[in-house]
A and B are shown apart, each in its own frame.
Chain A
Amino acid sequence: MTPDRHVQNQTVVSLSAVLLILLFNTWIAERSSKSSRPQFTNCPTMIVMVGLPARGKTYISKKLTRYLNWIGVPTQVFNLGQYRREVVQTYKNYEFFRPDNEEAMKIRRACASNALKDIANYFTKEQGQVAVFDATNTTRERRGVIISFAKEKGYKVFFIESFCDDPEIIEANIMQVKLSSPDYENYDKEEALVDFLKRIDCYNMSYVPLDEEKDRHLSFIKIFNVGSRYLVNCVQDHIQSRIVYYLMNIHVTPRSIYLSRHGESELNLLGRIGGDTGLSSQGQKYAKALAEFIRGQSIKDLKVWTSHMKRTIQTAEALGVPYEQWKALNEIDAGVCEEMTYEEIQATHPEEFALRDQDKYRYRYPKGESYEDLVHRLEPVIMELERQENVLVICHQAVMRCLLAYFLDKSADDLPYLKCPLHTVLKLTPLAYGCKVESFYLNIQAVNTHRDRPTNVNVARKPEEALQTVPEHL
């Protein structure tokens, strides 16, 4: 994400300039076409889903989109079903999808055409990089239309086909996400299931899966039975390689991820950021409470991860189970501001302090890191969390915000202000297309370390205005 090009504001221009100095780029270089960040892809990519209904296409589309946006690749889903629902206000029954229903066919083709137009718009006017076209796309003819469209516009195409013949999985899908669809608002469960299965039959007759031989010039991945097997053909570039790696690491086995910060630390008490201190006495109490809480949850095969910093390790020690230390989970490096209070930062680096409030996500501490850097270093952690089942991650405020933003699909603007208080465990359980969050405050008092964005972020502001939102401390 490059510094915002749209804003004319004087202050943000000065932000750009200072950031540029920080990056040692010339202003001109930044504005010219010289790419300053590693290139994921050099032209927009259309990801095209393929598969019968209830094969997890929308699940994959949403999850992949969430991941790509989190790693900084602007991505959007275009779900054909939604276009159809807007045109045909009320869904009657499966007969809309019969292959001999001429009128319905016309509507469905028009919807597809509109979706493609919106995709073109997303790429050209909204700086999108990846568009996920979420529809069945089960005929070679329909896929041909999409390929021609992409070729004409200069977009790359990557197909993701989900192939499943396990009736149990299909039924589970239908129960989880189809029955609650707007289409079936007025149906009871039994009727909805029957209708949906007939809907699948409508597509089945004309379904032509991607073929190793006939489609050997296309770029695609075929996912069999929720990941037991994959066929990968003609990966063209870096982003497609990353997408394939991601898809091959996700699974749908039920599990929960527990996120928590270390117990309150000595520096927390003093209102100082960063450093590598041990737990305060309240923090030690929390560690014991956490151990009890975890035991109470009766979690199967729980993995415990910490950072390399003393306070997370001390917290994990109290659990009495093996744990793994990840350097990548270390707190954001505040560089020259390490171990300072906000008051000291304001006193010694008032301009830095203001710049941070202007763009907390991209702001990098001098000789330190930014939230953007953090996301980059946490990517392998996220990838491993996707592979794992039940995990407890004991980490730090900025790190937890980044991880939470991934699971809850929060934007770069929201991420640095997510509330992650001490002594509170968040339990995340994947559900339908998203994530259920349960918050457990373990009733051990702790300081508040959350500093909201103040009203005045101008570099010329007064110290009182800068320190307006600093939480209390010793």
Chain B
Amino acid sequence: MNVTEDSTEQCGNSLTRELTQNPLKKIWVPSSTNGLPERHISQRKVCMTNCPTLIVTVGLPARGKTYISKKLTRYLNWIDVPTKEFNVGQYRRECVKIYKSFEFFQPDNEEGLKIRKQCALAALNDVRQFLTDEGGQVAVFDATNTTRERRETIIRFAEQNGFKVFFVESVCEDPDVIAENIVQVKLGSPDYIHCNTEEAVADFMKRIKCYENSYQPLDEELDRDLSFIKIIDVGRRYLVNRVQDHIQSRIVYYLMNIHITPRSIYLCRHGESDLNIKGRIGGDSGLSARGKEFAKALRQFIQSQNIRDLKVWTSQMKRTIQTAEALGVPYEQWKALNEIDAGVCEELMYEEIQQRYPQEFALRDQDKYRYRYPKGESYEDLVQRLEPVIMELERQENVLVICHQAVMRCLLAYFLDKTAEELPYLKCTLHTVLKLTPMAYGCKVESVCLNVDAVNTHRDRPSNVNVLRTTEDALQTVPPHL
């Protein structure tokens, strides 16, 4: 995290350092004296963990390891913990260009074993690079890791490099769940491009058998000094052993809240508001006439979707509540879903912000994710306050969230795995409902425009983000309004 260009206050006494406020994030930091770089900054953030963590999946094929790896990685990156997954299967596919059959995985296939071991080591090497040289904080090592011997190798590797290790084992004997897994994600694998469904399933089942004989699940007694979570039957039961620190505790909590029951999440903004029409940001106004039409259209749309046990959530601002009221069903109000607080810029038009706070306006364009409005919030702050909402969305089944532009961008970024750079520019237009349905390793998105006109509130990043730019340059991308 870099900081600053600070004020030029020099303090004589180095013990009582002057504080200046970082112009982008509005965080108070001691001003650097003697031009020395301020090294404490990275410690200013709340500490998740004090050394890199290696998460190691364990389990037979088709137990959801890659599903968990990808989902966990997405969550950790969203809450700003740089995370990356390393799938050994992919390394193997790069090495052995064409997959022939399950025989590659037979325990007596010497050549197969050699290649597989090489791939694991190559992956671990990349893990080391990510955690040590590239600023990664968590690496997810996604492989079967079904033998104690292989796990020992990984533990030694982690010890040598100063990484903490946390195992995530998925144990499942339900044949229906396994079959569903195979259909959803294995049949479409590059390995089975040239097979028909039946052949693929038969081969994959034999592949699983290759691992079964040598599988040594994590054991309460034998592995009592390791840190791990054992997930049994897709979350029916969990065994948690020796959680070491904050990040492991958060990971456990997350894993215990996710489920795979099919469901859909509907995201939309409130109907067009009076302030929207005037091109003003923030505030707490009511719906415009068109906004009220949208609310009615939304009601019809929701009814037509025939959703089972739909929960409806709004913020505590008038415009989302008015929209929900039109649905005629119970809804829950979350303060955490309130729009981003624009501080001193509340209820201003972009033209007015440019006029009164041109430097702020430019800083925002330079780093829209981290920029905090004076006396307000940043997208980064928003993500933090939305975390409990995401956690509860994971627990729930069918939910309709009626929220706001910045909030919806944050939620969408979580589901669609968007980076901090992309997040503040995601298109979340008024009067459009996004239907998100988890599928395979990701999320299917259906966008439904309810055909009620509304202003455009999306402001793209202008070409010139320099503090010294002209007013025209600054206002280049402001959408039209009254």
Closest Cβ of chain A: how far from B218's Cβ, in Å? Answer: 12
Question: In the assembly, what is the distance between CA of A11 and CA of B249, in Å?
Answer: 46
Q: Are A233 and B237 touching (Cβ within 8 A)?
A: yes
Q: Are A325 and B237 touching (Cβ within 8 A)?
A: no
Those of A325-340 within 8 Å (CB) of chain B? 325-327
In the bound complex, residues from chain A placing their C-beta under 8 Å from that of B242 are: 228-229
Tell yes or no: A34 within 8 A of B by CB.
yes
Instruction: Decide yes or no: A34 and B241 within 8 Å by CB, A308-B27, A310-B28, A317-B17 being known contacts.
Output: no
Instruction: Decide yes or no: A245 and B253 within 8 Å by CB, A313-B19, A313-B28, A327-B381 being known contacts.
Output: yes
Tell yes or no: A205 within 8 A of B by CB.
no
Those of A295-324 within 8 Å (CB) of chain B? 308-310, 313-314, 317-318, 320, 322-324
Q: Are A324 and B43 touching (Cβ within 8 A)?
A: yes
Instruction: Decide yes or no: A35 and B224 within 8 Å by CB, A241-B256, A308-B28 being known contacts.
Output: no
Tell yes or no: B236 within 8 A of A by CB.
yes
Q: Could you count the A-B residue pairs with CB atoms below 8 Å apart for me: how many are there?
A: 117
Tell yes or no: A171 within 8 A of B by CB.
no
Q: Are A231 and B246 touching (Cβ within 8 A)?
A: no
Instruction: Decide yes or no: A278 and B256 within 8 Å by CB, A23-B333, A322-B43 being known contacts.
Output: no
Q: Are A37 and B333 touching (Cβ within 8 A)?
A: yes
Instruction: Decide yes or no: A37 and B237 within 8 Å by CB, A249-B249, A317-B19, A324-B46 being known contacts.
Output: no
Those of B324-367 within 8 Å (CB) of chain A? 325, 330-335, 346
Mask, A229-252, CB within 8 Å of B = 1, is 111111100100100110011000
Q: Are B44 and A324 touching (Cβ within 8 A)?
A: yes
Closest Cβ of chain B: how far from A170's Cβ, in Å? Answer: 19
Q: Are A230 and B332 touching (Cβ within 8 A)?
A: no
State the 4 A-B residue pairs at the shortest beta-carbon distance, nearest first.
A24-B318, A232-B238, A230-B240, A34-B330
In the bound complex, residues from chain A placing their C-beta under 8 Å from that of B481 are: none
Instruction: Decide yes or no: A39 and B46 within 8 Å by CB, A233-B237, A313-B19 being known contacts.
Output: no
A238 nearest CB neighbor, chain B only = B395
Tell yes or no: A427 within 8 A of B by CB.
no
Mask, B27-40, CB within 8 Å of A = 1, is 11010000000001
What is the interface of chain B, defined by CB distance below 8 A to chain A? 15-17, 19, 21, 26-28, 30, 40, 43-47, 220, 224, 236-243, 246, 249, 252-253, 256-257, 284, 313, 316-318, 321-322, 325, 330-335, 346, 375, 381, 384-385, 392, 395
Contact of B330 among A33, A278, A377 (CB under 8 A): A33
Question: In the assembly, what is the distance between CA of A326 and CA of B47, in Å?
Answer: 10
Closest Cβ of chain B: how far from A405's Cβ, in Å? Answer: 20
Instruction: Decide yes or no: A387 and B246 within 8 Å by CB, A229-B224, A230-B239 being known contacts.
Output: yes
Contact of B237 among A25, A231, A276, A323 (CB under 8 A): A231
Question: In the assembly, what is the distance between CA of A320 and CA of B389, in Å?
Answer: 37
In the bound complex, residues from chain A placing their C-beta under 8 Å from that of B313 are: 38
Mask, A362-378, CB within 8 Å of B = 1, is 00000100000100110
Closest Cβ of chain B: how far from A28's Cβ, in Å? Answer: 11
B46 nearest CB neighbor, chain A only = A324
B249 nearest CB neighbor, chain A only = A249
Instruction: Decide yes or no: A248 and B332 within 8 Å by CB, A231-B239, A325-B27 being known contacts.
Output: no
Those of A6-39 within 8 Å (CB) of chain B? 23-25, 29, 33-39
Contact of B316 among A23, A35, A231, A278 (CB under 8 A): A23
In the bound complex, residues from chain B placing their C-beta under 8 Å from that of A462 are: none
Q: Are B15 and A320 touching (Cβ within 8 A)?
A: yes
Tell yes or no: A284 within 8 A of B by CB.
yes
Closest Cβ of chain B: how far from A336's Cβ, in Å? Answer: 11
Instruction: Decide yes or no: A384 and B246 within 8 Å by CB, A35-B330, A229-B241 being known contacts.
Output: yes
- The residue in B40, B240, B253 that gathers the most chain A C-beta atoms within 10 A of its C-beta is B240
Question: In the assembly, what is the distance between CA of A232 and CA of B240, in Å?
Answer: 8
